[in-house]
Amino acid sequence: MSGKTSNPTQTIENLRGEIEFRGKLARQHVTGEVLFPDYYDMEEHNQILFERVQATFQKMSELKDLGVHFSPFLELGAERGQRSLVLTNDFSAEGVAIDISFHQLATTEHFTKLFHREKLPLRICCDANHLPFKNNSFPFIYCYQFLHHFPSPKPVMDEIFRVLSNGYFYFDEEPFKRVLKLNLYKQSTKIYSKRAFRKNKYVNLIEGFISEAYCDEVEHGIIENNDISLTEWSTALSIFDDYDVNLFSIYNITSKLGNRIHLGNVLNILLGGRIAGLCRKKTGVERNSQINLLNLLACPDCQIPSSNGSFDRPSLVELSGSYKCTQCGFTYPCKEGIIFLLPKDELQQLYPDV
C-alpha cells in the first residue's frame, strides 16, 4: 500500500485480489480441479479442515467452561464456514459467518455434508472495514488467520468493538513480528506446496530467519502482514476493558502480551511467532440469545448518531429476499442464500454481476 495513513485499510485492489484468489481456491477444493498446483489439493485440504473442526470444538469447549456465551456469534473471515458449523451444530448457537469472498461462503453447503453438520449459519458477503451490523450486536465474535490480512489491525478492531455487545472477542493463529529477521532472498518454493513440506524441518526453520516467504496469496495482491509489532497489537487491543493474550514461539516459548520484561518475553520478541487471546468488553447492552439475526443487519454505507456521541448504522428491512436500507433506500441483494452487504461502490466494483 503506497503512502501511510493514520488508519490504513485494504485497497480495492487488495479486495479484488482476495476475491479472485479465494474463488479459484473454492473451485480447487470442491471440484478437485487443479488451479494452483503449488497449493493443497482437495484431499489434503479436507484433512486440514477436519483438523480445524476438531481444534475449534476443543477451543470452544474451553471458552464455554470459562463462561463465554456463543449466541448470537459473529465469525470474521469465515471462508468455508467450518468453524461456524461447529458452533451452530455442536453448541446449538445462532450466528453469522462473514467473508469478502462469496465463492468461499458458497462452499459451506458442500462442507456441511463432509463434516456431517447440516445446520447453516447466516452467511454474509461483506467488508470487515464496514461491518453491516448495529452497535452491540454480538456477545461473541471470533476469527482465525484473519487480522494479518490488513495493513494494521486497529481499524478493523475498532469495528469489532463497535458491534461487540457485553461479551468476548477471541482470535487465534495470527502472527507477530520477528525481530531476528534478515530477508536475504525470496524462497523459491511456495509455502503451501508439497515440496515445501518435504523440506527438512531445520532447513525450514533457518530459512524463516533469513529469507522472505513466497505464496500464491501475495501474488494475487492479498496483504500478508506478518510484521505486526507487539506495540501495534497492544494499541489495537487497548480498546477492550481487559484481555488475556498469549505469545507462542518455537520450542514452546510462551509469554503474555503486556507482561513485564522477562526471559520468555524477550525470546518471544526476538523470535516472533503466533499470538492468540480472549478480550472482554464489559460495557454495552446485554444481548438476548434468542434475537432474530436479521434484526441485527444494518447498512454498511450509512451512519446515524448514537446515544454516546459516536455513530450507529441504520436498520435494513427485508423485501422479497433482498434488504433495503431505511435511510438511503439502497437495496442489497441476496444470492444462493448469501446476503451481499458491501458498501455500494465496493459492491459495484467487486461484484458487478450480482
Q: Is residue 1 in a domain?
A: no
Q: Are 154 and 232 in contact (CB under 8 A)?
A: yes
Please state the φ and ψ torsions of residue 73, each to the nearest 5 degrees: -110, 165
**272-330: pLDDT as tens digits:** 999 999 999 998 777 777 889 999 999 999 999 987 778 999 999 999 889 999 999 99
Q: What is the mean pLDDT of residues 16-32?
A: 96
Number of domains in the chain: 1
Does residue 271 sit within a domain? no
- Tell me, yes or no, whether 192 lies in a domain: no
Within-domain flag for 152: yes
Residue 266 lies in a domain: no
Confidence of residue 261 (pLDDT cuts 50, 70, 90): low
Is the pTM higher than 0.85? The answer reads: yes
CB atoms within 10 A of CB 305: 9
Domain extent, residue 23, equals 12-171+224-243+284-350
**Domain-embedded: residue 290:** yes
Identify any residues that bridge with 74 across adjacent strands, giving them in sequence order.
Answer: 96, 141
Whether residue 256 is contained in a domain is answered as no
Looking at the chain, list the stretches that DSSP marks H as alpha helix, in order from N- to C-terminal side. Answer: 12-31, 42-65, 82-90, 102-106, 108-114, 154-163, 194-198, 201-210, 216-219, 230-237, 263-271, 344-350
Does 36 fall in a domain? yes
**Predicted confidence (pLDDT) at residue 2 exceeds the cutoff of 50:** no
What CATH number is attached to the domain comprising 21? 3.40.50.150
